[in-house]
């Protein structure tokens, strides 16, 4: 395995000197792009796209055909793992994901199993392989999975939730059952991420979308503990190249030091976290990724450029260890030309402000 011709993203993850500030966007391949909407209409539904490696690869490359992005991310969904466990995933238009068999009793939980990622999730590993081949060494490919706690939230609630009533009832009434779910899901996530690395992913990312709904002690016990296990078990090198990992914990700004201590190479920050303060707290231990409010992309291009510049300036005069991203996934209502304005601003920032050229700590 050799580094891509554009390795700025990898350099930033390892806090090495880089030619410019790398940028990619969470959900960069998706409903805001007309070419994605056309392909989805042809395929029929979201999971039909996910389960077709050729189409998934085509979608992953769509934003790179439009924009000068510095990384690609495999087109898939964090809920493919619980679907492979037999919970019956479907996506309802305008409602989001739903499980036919949410985990509500001990018998169901005792029957949980770890799916073989090269069998029941073969379409994911095949999509990774197809995308890596199609990239042809241009930019790094990111594989990903949800955190055990986030997946457990969906598996227990059965869908999105405002109050996480079923999750927290189980967590505080039957913590033994909650731990059983988390143990199984942790092993499933670890196997899936390692399978993605074996299939060609050069970076892996864990999305802890719902860890921020926990109290501090509960976050340590029911989310961070299991992410730490995953980071420890990941393949660290493939064909001589290091495989870095990123943790994105939405609402996790108060726990940056604890998350950084897991051994991951980078923290993804939500837009509620001040990136300059985050750098002061953990920037010598990990790279930082983020964290523009996705809502900024509804503004005119000149406003987008101004707000993007504020995030870069807040990070500091030396951009070592900085990956520009949004503080959450891009909205489906974002005008594609506004994304172009953001990416152009990031890449030109160091050209107009030489102090931002990466030079090391």
> Tokens for 18?
């880089």
Strand partners, 141: 72
Torsions phi, psi for 287 (to 5 deg): -75, 160
Q: What burial class does residue 39 get, using C-beta atoms within 10 Å of its C-beta: 0-12 exposed, 13-18 middle, 19+ buried? A: middle
Q: Following DSSP, what letter does each residue of 172-239 receive, concatenated?
A: HH-HHHHHHHHHHHHHHHHHHHHHHHHHT-SEEEEEESSGGGS-HHHHIIIIIHHHHHHHHHS--EET
Instruction: State the chain's maximal CA–CA distance in angstroms.
Output: 62
> Tokens for 17?
């000197």
Distance from C-alpha of 12 to C-alpha of 304, rounded to nearest angstrom: 23
Asked whether the beta carbons of 86 and 117 are under 8 A apart, the reply is no
Q: What burial class does residue 232 get, using C-beta atoms within 10 Å of its C-beta: 0-12 exposed, 13-18 middle, 19+ buried? A: exposed
Residues carrying an active site annotation? 27, 31, 40, 77, 154
Torsions phi, psi for 291 (to 5 deg): -150, 45
Asked whether the beta carbons of 140 and 203 are under 8 A apart, the reply is yes
């Amino acid at each position: 395995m050799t580094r891509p011709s554009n390795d700025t993203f990898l350099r930033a993850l390892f806090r090495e000197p880089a030619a410019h500030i790398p940028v990619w966007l969470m959900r960069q391949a998706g409903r805001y792009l007309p070419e994605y909407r056309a392909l989805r209409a042809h395929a029929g539904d979201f999971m039909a796209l996910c389960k077709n490696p050729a189409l998934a690869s085509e979608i992953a490359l769509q934003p790179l055909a439009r924009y000068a992005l510095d990384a690609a991310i495999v087109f898939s969904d964090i809920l493919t793992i619980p679907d492979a466990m037999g919970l019956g995933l479907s996506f309802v238009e305008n409602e989001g994901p739903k499980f036919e068999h949410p985990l509500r009793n001990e018998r169901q939980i005792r029957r949980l199993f770890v799916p073989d990622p090269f069998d029941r999730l073969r379409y994911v590993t095949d999509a990774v392989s197809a995308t890596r081949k199609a990239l042809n060494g241009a930019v790094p490919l990111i594989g990903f999975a949800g955190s055990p706690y986030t997946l457990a939230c969906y598996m227990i609630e059965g869908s999105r939730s405002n109050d996480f009533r079923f999750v927290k009832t189980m967590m505080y009434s039957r913590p033994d059952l909650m731990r059983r779910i988390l143990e199984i899901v942790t092993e499933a996530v670890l196997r899936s991420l390692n399978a993605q690395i074996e299939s060609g992913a050069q970076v892996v990312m864990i999305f802890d979308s719902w860890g921020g709904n926990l109290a501090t002690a509960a976050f340590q016990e029911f989310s961070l503990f299991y992410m730490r296990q995953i980071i420890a078990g990941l393949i660290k090198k493939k064909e001589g190249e290091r495989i870095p990992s990123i943790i994105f914990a939405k609402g996790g700004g108060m726990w940056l030091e604890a998350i950084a201590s897991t051994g991951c190479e980078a923290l993804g920050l939500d837009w509620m976290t001040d990136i300059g303060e985050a750098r002061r707290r953990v920037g010598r231990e990990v790279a930082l990724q983020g964290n523009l409010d996705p809502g900024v992309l509804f503004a005119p291009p000149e406003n987008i450029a101004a707000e993007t510049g504020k995030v870069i300036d807040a990070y500091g005069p030396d951009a070592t260890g900085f990956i520009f991203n949004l503080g959450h996934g891009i909205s489906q209502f974002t005008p594609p030309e506004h994304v172009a304005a953001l990416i152009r601003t990031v890449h030109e920032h160091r050209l107009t402000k030489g102090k931002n050229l990466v030079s090391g700590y």
